[in-house]
A and B are shown apart, each in its own frame.
Chain A
């Protein structure tokens, strides 16, 4: 029963007034950025990193970060339903039915099923995380250098292959990320790489700078380029409409559970966060539903399932992050980078060396879920107000925060320019439909992969067959190859049948 003990201790940490305050700040901030179209949890955490480093305990910082991630998931659903502009990509699926419901005057019911579904899924999947984390971490202790290399490769390739519409574009983004990740002093020999003799580049491009450039500057420029074409209309929430009717509950509970069941394992696999399970859940509910005709016109199952999958996937993402130190989404990558900033060794040792931190984090997820449920439904009018902030004011403020964030972490004019430069690259990538998430993953996982590869080479005297000696390594490499092929399967099958079909693709992670 040591798990229960640890968890209770975690609750003890979280329920202290200071940490509870940070959890509340986190979920509020997260909901806020989730509601705002265009900024996501990755950017928020990236901007908060310099601030968080000033805090005395990393535990409080991580409780806040987890709250931001979770809150953004809740907030994103509000924007999708009322504005039909998904605040973050994982809510694209719920925008389909949710906005239709809102247009038909059932906005409150849609918001309620999203919030309650998120709560149910969040709690259940956190329970799953509690149960699976320790066994997985002990399994992960057996991982050796070649396994880590294969695992990092798998995470990168799956995210790249499954997110976005074109494999080649994803690979190009990934290559850019790997290149950025290699800048700086090499971790094994201490050589300078790609620094061009510049002192500023010796310590590499920091995560804050990369995230701020790509997400804050890039996204703002992207929005500026098509400012006049954004939907401004917010679906009204009339006072007359009620929350969920008894029938809504009856039609929602099963999709919630199914969404959780789909979301958690997909989040836990190194397969790119929440987009895939939300779409899977949507398709599945559509297929299962007795009300097939309502789909496309506001079927409540189409909101309940994906929203549950969305939140369940987040707890899933934490499984590889906490046990293996492998991030599977851009936000998780930023959280991993912040662990490193606090000098906390990520990977399987995390549970042994920083057990208190991890269990407090897990306990904070339970608490955060309750906070979010309390925060979201009664305060829905406030969040609708947030949606009405004038766009120019909003995006100009984001730019100011971006500059402050970079300045606070570096104090250098040249690095500000570098962030703007990265922002321009991010903007062009967005304009031409290159996915952003692989860049972040490449930049953060790249150095680790590089180190593990060279460690393997050093141990085996440069013999590449070291990667094909252990069954675990081989399995991971085979999975990588499968991930490369999977997106092409529907088209291949369609070609066999003489029909054309779209490539399997999902929205992009922010």
Chain B
């Protein structure tokens, strides 16, 4: 219902919720993300655009940058990084039980750090080993919460 009301309002007067942006950002393409609720349009003030399938031009996605998020420049949102992170997370979740917490955490950590832009493999590997060891032993020994042991016989 809310979605419908919102969509109707967008069609009637697209500028109501969003004051016109500054000159710097008015040239941006507007797009909607199609995540099953196509009417949640993040509409640009000018011109009013109808929702369309934009999986292809997601890179040009416009994000309504709020006052508090001065760093969100619409043109510069990188969709690849979060997508890779999600993939890594799913993989991590999948191997966690069969492979075990210690090994999979080290691998995931190094992978995630790399995706997030760090290139110090040795330093990150060391941090990963220490982090997973500290979490594993403090959880299993001190807190009596079980974490999957997996292939390592510890």
- Taking Cβ atoms with an 8 Å cutoff, the residues of A that contact B are 50-51, 54, 86, 89, 92, 165-166, 168-169, 171-172, 175, 217, 220-222, 224-231, 390-393, 395-397, 399-401, 403-404, 407-408, 411, 413, 416-417, 420, 423-424, 427-428, 431-433, 500, 502, 507-508
Contacts and interface: CB of A to CB of B under 8 A. Distances in A.
Nearest to A227: B117
A226 B72 contact: yes
Contacts of B67: 165
A390 B64 contact: no
A228 B108 CA distance: 22
Contacts of A231: 71
B89 A403 contact: yes
B147 A408 contact: yes
29 contacts: A165-B17, A165-B67, A168-B5, A168-B6, A172-B2, A172-B6, A217-B89, A222-B82, A224-B78, A224-B82, A225-B79, A229-B71, A396-B109, A399-B112, A400-B108, A403-B89, A403-B108, A404-B101, A404-B139, A408-B147, A416-B93, A423-B86, A427-B82, A428-B35, A432-B42, A432-B64, A433-B42, A433-B66, A507-B68
Interface string B61-104: 10110111001110011110110011001101110110001000
A83 to B, nearest CB: 12
B139 to A, nearest CB: 7
Contacts of A397: 109, 131
A502 B145 CA distance: 50
Given A225-B81, A392-B117, 4 more contacts: A217-B89, A396-B112, A399-B85, A432-B40
Nearest to B6: A168
Kindly list the 4 A-B residue pairs having the minimum CB-CB distance in the complex, ordered from nearest: A392-B116, A392-B118, A396-B112, A416-B93
B118 A433 contact: no
A324 B62 CA distance: 42
B38 interface: no
Interface of B: 2-3, 5-6, 9, 17, 19, 33, 35, 40, 42, 61, 63-64, 66-68, 71-73, 76-79, 81-82, 85-86, 89-90, 92-94, 96-97, 101, 105, 108-109, 112-118, 124, 127, 131-132, 135, 139, 143-148
A171 B5 CA distance: 11
B127 A413 contact: no
Contacts of A89: 68
Contacts of B68: 86, 89, 92, 507-508
B94 A221 contact: no
Given A229-B71, A399-B85, A508-B68, A407 B109 contact: no
Given A172-B6, A408-B145, A416 B113 contact: no
A44 B97 CA distance: 24
B139 A171 contact: no
Nearest to A508: B68
A286 B23 CA distance: 29
B89 A399 contact: yes
Contacts of A401: 135
A420 B118 CA distance: 23
A227 B19 contact: no
A50 B66 contact: no
A225 B76 CA distance: 9
Given A404-B139, A416-B93, A427-B82, A432 B113 contact: no
Contacts of B19: 500, 502
Given A416-B93, A432-B40, A227 B81 contact: yes
Nearest to B85: A224
B116 A391 contact: yes
A427 B3 CA distance: 19
A165 B63 contact: no
Contacts of B94: 413
Contacts of A86: 68
B59 to A, nearest CB: 11
Given A175-B2, A391-B116, A404 B89 contact: no
A424 B147 contact: no
A166 B66 CA distance: 11
Given A51-B145, A168-B6, A432 B63 contact: yes
